[in-house]
Amino acid sequence: MRTLSLFALAVVACLAVPSDAGDLRTASALRDRALGDPTAWNIVESLTTEIGPRPIGSPAYSRARDWAIARLKALGFVNVHAEVFPKPAWIRGAESAEVVGPFPQKLAIIGLGNTVPTPPQGIEAPIVVLKSYAELLAARPGAFKGRIVVVNQPMTRTEDGSGYGAAVQIRNGYGEAARRGALAYLIRSVSTGAPRSPHTGAIWGPGTGKIPAAALGVPDADLLQHMAARGPVRLRLKLASSVNPKSLAWNISGEVTGSARPDQIVVIGGHLDSWDPGTGAIDDAAGVAITTAAATLINRLPQHPRRTIRVVLWGSEENGGSSDAYLAAHRNELGKIVLAGESDLGSDRAIHVDLPDGAAKAPAFALLPAVLAPLKVFVADTPPRHGGSDIEGLQKAGVPIFAVGQDASRYFDYHHSADDTLAVVDRASLNQNVAVWASLLYLAADSNVDFRAKPGK
Ligand SMILES: [Zn+2]
């Protein structure tokens, strides 16, 4: 009789609460804890203060490796190590530009990453100002012979940052300018802001026909357009740089071991390298901080989720290379990586989460919208298109990816410029991201969901 009533009680309990109630409670507790947890802020503050700008090949880049290893160990991660790979380093030298005439004045510029240098005495030539990149592409071969081409096309501000995709091709247009006879290539910074600080970024492409390439501060690009409207303008550009072909880079990782299926791994992370003018706070100390803090909160739970969580701090995002190196080093365990995600869009508020096709309908995620609703975050009904450039290799190799969509409205005001500093990181938004990542990550890692399975199967 007694056994029967206990059984009856158990049945009632099961009917009263969903079977994932424990997971829901844990995910909600992680969410609430994250909002008041100092870990993410401390990481951004420490990385920007103690290391600062950390481009590949710089002494700070090596210090960032040591910083990351010490930090992950101190936070209790296991299997903490650096995976080294070769990566030639482009190292910036002195740079300047000025209008020689008719209205002499100095210009705010920054060389684009990987640009060839000018001769030491610089390049002095008349300019041609184009109001759009399409004007450059429409020009005939040789049209800009002996000139410095200036492309003054503004970037569109969007909440999801999609204006960047259109603008990035302009940055890489030096070959198109060279083909039309240009001596050097200047672009309006790929920026949504008005400040004068110019924004750098990598250029790449075939080695032939390379001409020096730099970005102008947004007001400086407009200034040149105003001058050119009055008549011919001469400009002098000096760019110095060197290349270390033997430089090394490294991806750094640490793990929270799974309690039941440690051989199944969820890979997350942000990138440790940064551009040099600022301190790389939003790009991408924030991503390092958000993912590390989320995994740290999970690491502190009395019971770890079933699967292993691996935080990877990618070492060469800005010039590419992390993704290929990671894929090459982990090709034999791709099947074990059940899910991957990257945080690399700054520290402003998360808006939505995108899960692999069909995953949002899995019972394990049935209550995810309830966990995220208080954060004003929704679960998107479409899978992510891009997980991030550091997990691109994994994605192409078939590893399922997820993404946390963020408000990128002001991200490109600061990105790759001297203004990418701790001053533009909003602590409450940073922690809201940690709350999203921690709860989502916990549910994914504690589930048995096969993210590779297509919907309907
Ligand atoms: Zn980045």
From residue 202, how far is each of 93, 131, 214 by CA, in Å? 15, 22, 10
pLDDT at 6: 44
Helix (H, G, I), strand (E, B), or coil: what is residue 310? strand
Report CA(316)–ligand 1 centroid distance (Å). Answer: 10
Report CA(334)–ligand 1 centroid distance (Å). Answer: 24
Distance CA 346, CA 422 (A): 11
Taking the alpha carbons at both ends of the chain, their separation in whole angstroms is: 43
Report CA(385)–ligand 1 centroid distance (Å). Answer: 17
> Would you state the structure tokens that stand for residue 69, as one six-digit string?
């290893």
Distance CA 258, CA 264 (A): 8
Instruction: Give the global pTM.
Output: 0.94
pLDDT at 385: 87
Q: Are 220 and 263 in contact (CB under 8 A)?
A: no
Q: Are 193 and 121 in contact (CB under 8 A)?
A: no
Report CA(303)–ligand 1 centroid distance (Å). Answer: 33
Distance CA 127, CA 333 (A): 53
Report CA(117)–ligand 1 centroid distance (Å). Answer: 25
Helix (H, G, I), strand (E, B), or coil: what is residue 97? strand
Distance CA 26, CA 346 (A): 27
Nearest to 111 by CA among 187, 164, 167, 165: 187
pLDDT values of the chain reduced to their tens digit, one per residue, 457 residues: 444 444 444 443 434 344 466 788 999 999 999 999 999 999 999 999 999 999 999 999 999 999 999 999 999 999 999 999 999 999 999 999 999 999 999 999 999 999 999 999 999 999 999 999 999 999 999 999 999 999 999 999 999 999 998 888 999 999 999 999 999 999 999 999 999 999 999 998 655 468 999 999 999 999 999 999 999 999 999 999 999 999 999 999 999 999 999 999 999 999 999 999 999 999 999 999 999 999 999 999 999 999 999 999 999 999 999 999 999 999 999 999 999 999 999 999 999 999 999 898 999 999 999 999 999 999 998 999 889 999 999 999 999 999 999 999 999 999 999 999 999 999 999 999 999 999 999 999 999 999 998 654 4
Distance CA 407, CA 344 (A): 12
Report CA(343)–ligand 1 centroid distance (Å). Answer: 8
220's CB contacts (< 8 A; 6+ apart) are 107, 108, 109, 196, 198
Report CA(130)–ligand 1 centroid distance (Å). Answer: 29
Report CA(203)–ligand 1 centroid distance (Å). Answer: 15
pLDDT at 455: 57
Report CA(272)–ligand 1 centroid distance (Å). Answer: 9
Helix 21-35 to helix 427-445 angle (10° resolution) is: 160
Q: Are 343 and 284 in contact (CB under 8 A)?
A: yes
From residue 377, how far is each of 95, 267, 372, 374, 435 by CA, in Å? 44, 22, 5, 7, 10
**Which letter does DSSP use for residue 455 in this model?**
T
Number of separate helices (H) and strands (E) present in the chain: 14, 16
Q: Are 416 and 203 in contact (CB under 8 A)?
A: no
Q: Are 442 and 30 in contact (CB under 8 A)?
A: yes
User: Strands across the sheet with 213-216, in order?
Assistant: 105-107, 89-101, 234-244, 123-130, 148-151, 184-188, 213-216, 109-111
> Would you state the structure tokens that stand for residue 330, as one six-digit string?
């982990």
Place of tokens 């990566």: 87
Q: Are 322 and 349 in contact (CB under 8 A)?
A: no
Nearest to 128 by CA among 148, 155, 146: 148
Distance CA 429, CA 347 (A): 6
Q: How far is CA 298 from the centre of its chain?
A: 23
Distance CA 61, CA 71 (A): 15
Helix (H, G, I), strand (E, B), or coil: what is residue 181? coil
Identity of residue 238: K
pLDDT at 21: 66
Catalytic residue set: 317
